[in-house]
């Protein structure tokens, strides 16, 4: 997560109105506003791979899959986030075009700068969503995934998937092979962009 922008003292409603006029995306965390940086190509590729697998699997069901540009509100944390991928099967969410409030699955593809935040503070806020059944974090560098699944007792249990293993997302009943999850992802190399 980046540094907060200068405090604008916005309410959640004011934030939504303000952000609608901005050229870039922002997350809102209990009154603090954070500009969202662009992602590397491998990050976008994995996000797309997850989205395509879920979209194909959920076609024809009441569930909808969104990626990157749809906000999730965690009202109890006074926050709005842009998860990499989300699934919602909620009628209320279907009626809300800009903000989803009842996701059943959230997926974050880890970036070096946000990995600890996505696994820690952000996950703590996501857990406040009563509708959330599963949270997956995908590690491109390790070609692995950690899936946190909420049990009937309300406790979250880690289901780790190592390099090469298929990843099972029980909340939506789909398994994505390791090859499909990391298809067309290049090995980490130094950025070859010329410096001017």
Residue 171 neighbours by CB under 8 Å, 6+ apart? 87, 104, 105, 133, 134, 149
The pLDDT tens digits of the residues spanning 122-160 come to 999 999 999 999 999 999 999 999 999 999 999 999 999
Q: What is the pLDDT of residues 2-19, one digit of tens each?
A: 545 455 567 888 888 888
Yes or no: say if 140 and 182 are a contact pair by the CB < 8 Å rule.
Answer: yes
Q: Quick one: pLDDT at residue 33? A: 87
Q: What is the pLDDT of residue 96?
A: 95
The long-range contacts involving 166-169, CB below 8 angstroms and separated by at least 24 positions, are: 167/136, 167/138, 169/54, 169/105, 169/134, 169/136
Both ends of the chain: CA-CA distance in Å? 28
190 pLDDT tier (thresholds 50, 70, 90): very low
pTM of the model: 0.86
Domains of the chain: 12-181 (3.90.1570.10)
pLDDT at 195: 40
């Amino acid at each position: 997560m980046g540094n907060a922008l200068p405090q604008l003292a916005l309410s959640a409603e004011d934030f939504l109105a303000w952000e609608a006029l901005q050229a870039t995306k922002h997350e809102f965390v209990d009154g603090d506003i954070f500009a969202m940086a662009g992602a590397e190509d491998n990050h976008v590729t994995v996000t797309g791979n997850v989205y395509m697998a879920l979209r194909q699997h959920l076609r024809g069901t009441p569930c909808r899959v969104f990626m990157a540009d749809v906000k999730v509100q965690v009202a109890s944390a006074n926050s709005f986030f842009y998860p990499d991928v989300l699934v919602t099967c909620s009628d209320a969410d279907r009626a809300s075009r800009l903000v989803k409030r009842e996701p059943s699955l959230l997926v974050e593809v880890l970036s070096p700068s946000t990995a600890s935040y996505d696994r820690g503070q952000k996950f703590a806020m996501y857990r406040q969503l009563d509708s959330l059944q599963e949270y997956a974090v995908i590690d491109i560098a390790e070609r692995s995934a950690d899936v946190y699944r909420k049990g009937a007792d309300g406790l979250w249990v880690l289901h780790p998937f190592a390099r090469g293993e298929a990843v099972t997302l029980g909340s939506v009943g789909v398994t994505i092979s390791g090859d499909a999850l990391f298809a067309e992802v290049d090995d980490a190399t130094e950025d070859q962009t010329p410096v001017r």
